[in-house]
Amino acid sequence: MADQMKKIVCIEDEPEMIELVKLILGRHNFEVHGALGGQEGLDKISQVEPDLVLLDLMMPEMDGWQVFQTMRVDPEMSHIPVIVVTAKAQSIDKVLGLHIAKVNDYITKPFGPQELLESIRKVLEL
């Protein structure tokens, strides 16, 4: 079903950022589920079984890399594409994310709505 809404889990420690992502993606027929922090994010992924995860790196308690590693070793989550959305804009962070950890894409904050949409469409091949 090509017209079925794609489900996205946005794992972030800032509620305002989750609301912004919901606003941007809701207009483009994506179903967005927000999760505040890493453990809540992993729980939400299990519940929702999303098509994609948007993952912040810098979060208290459980950071984004810990979430990503947990996802990659869990057979229920290992296939789900991950786009890192972070304020860590250093080129070394991007290299680590894309080439070492093998995330599907890496977006730095602040980002524009079009940049977010293009990344999601590229990763989901829409």
Structure tokens at 93: 């962070």
What's the pLDDT tens digit per position in 16-71? Answer: 999 999 999 999 999 999 999 999 999 999 999 999 999 998 898 899 989 999 99
Query: pLDDT band at residue 88, thresholds of 50, 70 and 90?
Result: low
- CA–CA separation, 80 vs 82, rounded Å? 6
Domains in the chain: ranges and CATH: 6-124 (3.40.50.2300)
pLDDT of residue 108: 87
